[in-house]
Structure 1
């Protein structure tokens, strides 16, 4: 018999079309839509003003400065936009001076880039500041202009347009901040759920997985902080966002206490890993931690609806009133004592995140 095998009659469906998932791309487009709108409006307005109002024949830098200064980054606060604009103006000015003194050529380009990068690094610690300066200086050196310093004016026009659009066409920072906060609280709940399962089963592997999830919370806390700081900075100058300022400040209060709660959760997770070495179930600690997680979920609901804050406070207070490690471990081995003690600061952080004054939150705990 021949060793030949006939190919299958049904073709194997391969290729990117059968593996490509468009949903992440669609989500990125949806999240970036306000930034795209800002960039398009600012660039078009700057170009039109420089070209039609001032008569500049090719106001390239009026458009490029707006695109580079606004960008698609999460941090769109006016100070960051202004710093980027200043960096680009520095690069344009250095290049214009070089063209005026030495003309255009390969060695002039090398000197201009060197000078732009050195001056920009001296002026700012942000690497993006220096790169922005170098890019704009290279554009000036490579694309000739008949009138000296014309491109410097274009760059200033672009920078002013970017700052105006930041205030007058804001990026809906409250929506972005709420989304970041919800992502943090969802991840917090997932980490706690894993630790609760580990305690119920005495499962060290699951406990270690919960510790990994707890450690992964910090980048989410930082993302939320950046969104809130950016939003509050924009709300201070935008006449359309002043009503959102109070809500952004409330979310910042929630974030600050959830940052502490996330740090305390890492402490708890390490103790859960240690306790699960003996493979013994600890239902009391598991139940208490699960009840605290239920309060945290209500805090997550309160980001979109402040009316959830009072039930969140009461849900955590009900658990906090029972957090007496000595009483809870009476008549049993004391290996859980430290873990139960670590739940106390977590409860305080959750109550304060839900709007309870810190003194009242501490008073809700039993004396030990």
Structure 2
């Protein structure tokens, strides 16, 4: 980010946002694999139950597949399996109570109460209980089949196919987690750039804005963590994605240390916001943080091109070896020395994110 960047950014006109097709096209792009999974699992479950088992209305074979997969990006096999088990729990309870008491309004209410209480006992997830209740209600109001527990068999078929397609027709977890990683680095860059402007100009407003942006980064850190966990879980199961496990492990290392780097950026931003209250320019601190900001851009580029990692490491090592506040700012006030000192852990976090071992990263920082 250049020093001439504006303090504020353009806000899209609301009416233009409403009529733009781009958000819808982006949702279609992000969801087409999930839609394909649902179509394959639901249709396959229906066909197996109808033709192989001879069930006339195998509705639950389709609904279990649809509900367990969903359109959420988090399609970890474990999450899908937990949802399937919740649904089968609801169907089983419904079948047992229907055999004992028949069907009707009070039977439906009793079934929902027993199902949800049992589901809450079995699992802490609220989604588990809701999924169980929905399928229990559907099973209770459907016509009775010629054999008991036919609906449970339909649900089991749908659940098996839902879990199977997560491995055989996986969503593209790599693109989602890389996109989340880029979003994090973009926000990190914007926050650091604003703090740099505040320090360089002695502008408390810009420094405060940088602190606000740095605080907003944590949500993106959490989003990247979730998409990475999903990608790693799918790649461990899918034979088509196992070759990506090493790359995902590298991305997980970057994510963990960018989490720490984001926290340390907030520390630097708070010190910068306080120091900028006096209106004094601080070019040394600004240049140092700007160097770390540029190095973080190189770490971001390494997500797509591992060849960028050595460049990021060398850039960061060159900055880290000079991070002696007393040598950089002889005779400076204690507050300014503390500001530069706060950049030392930030440099270490970025070094580890770029692939430097932790002990080596700390050893590169001068002792003070």
TM tier, shorter chain?
A: over 0.9
| 8 Å contact from structure 1 (residues 95, 140) kept in 2 | yes
Structure 2: 5+ residue runs without aligned partners?
1-13
Shift of 1:16: 6.7
Query: What corresponds to 1:115 in structure 2?
Result: 114
* 2:343 counterpart residue number: 343
User: In 2, Cα distance between the equivalents of 1:188 and 1:286?
Assistant: 16
Once the two structures are superposed, residues 236-293 of structure 1 have per-residue CA deviations (whole angstroms, 9 ceiling, x without a partner) of: 1111111001111110011011111001011111111110111111111111101101
Residue of structure 1 equivalent to 2:71: 72
Structure 1 runs of 4+ with >4 Å offset: 15-19
Give 1:277's aligned residue: 277
Deviations, residues 214-253 of structure 1 (Å, cap 9, x unaligned): 1111111111111111111111111111100111111001
- Distance change >3 Å, CA 86–CA 209, structure 1 → 2: same
Query: How far 1:31 moved relative to its partner?
Result: 1.1
> 3-state SS of the aligned residue for 1:287?
helix
SS of 1:240's equivalent in the other structure is coil
Q: Deviations over 1:36-60 (max 9, x none)?
A: 1111111111111111111111111
In the alignment, structure 1 residue 155 sits paired with structure 2 residue 164: no
Q: Distance in 1 between matches of 2:213 and 2:308?
A: 26
Structure 2 equivalent of residue 226 of structure 1: 226
Partner of 1:84: 83
1:180-227 CA-partner distances (Å, limit 9, x unpaired): 111111111011011111111112121111111111111111111111
CA distance in 2, matches of 1:16, 1:314: 48
Give the match for residue 327 of structure 2: 327
Shift of 1:145: 2.4
Report the CA distance between 1:331 and its aligned residue: 3.1
Structure 2 distance, partners of 1:225, 1:242, is 19
CA drift at 1:74:
2.4
Q: 1:196–1:287: 8 Å Cα contact kept in structure 2?
A: yes
What does residue 239 of structure 1 align with? 239
Deviation at 1:333, TM superposition (A): 2.9
RMSD of aligned residue pairs (Cα, Å): 1.4
Q: In the alignment, what sits opposite 1:310?
A: 310
What corresponds to 2:250 in structure 1? 250
Q: For the Cα contact (< 8 Å) 1:74–1:226, is it kept in 2?
A: no
Q: Distance in 2 between matches of 1:87 and 1:219?
A: 29
Partner of 1:35: 34
Matched position secondary structure for 1:264: helix
Q: Is 1:207 matched with 2:207?
A: yes
Distance in 2 (CA, whole Å) between partners of 1:166 and 1:18 is 34
Residue of structure 2 in register with 1:62 after alignment: 61
Give me the whole-angstrom Cα distance separating, in 2, the residues matched to 1:128 and 1:119: 13
Question: Which whole-Å CA distance do the structure 2 matches of 1:151 and 1:41 have between them?
Answer: 20
1:9 match: none
Q: TM-score, normalised by structure 2?
A: 0.94
Residue 98 of structure 1 corresponds to which residue in structure 2?
A: 97
Q: Secondary structure at the match of 2:307?
A: helix
Instruction: Please say if 1:20 is aligned against 2:19.
Output: yes
The CA deviation string for residues 328-348 of structure 1, in whole angstroms up to 9 with x for no partner, is 120333321111001001000
8 Å contact kept, 1:320–1:344: yes
CA distance in 1, matches of 2:247, 2:160: 29
Partner Cα separation in structure 1 for residue 187 and residue 24 of structure 2: 22
Shift of 1:19: 4.3
Whole-Å separation in 2 of the counterparts to 1:258 and 1:42 = 37
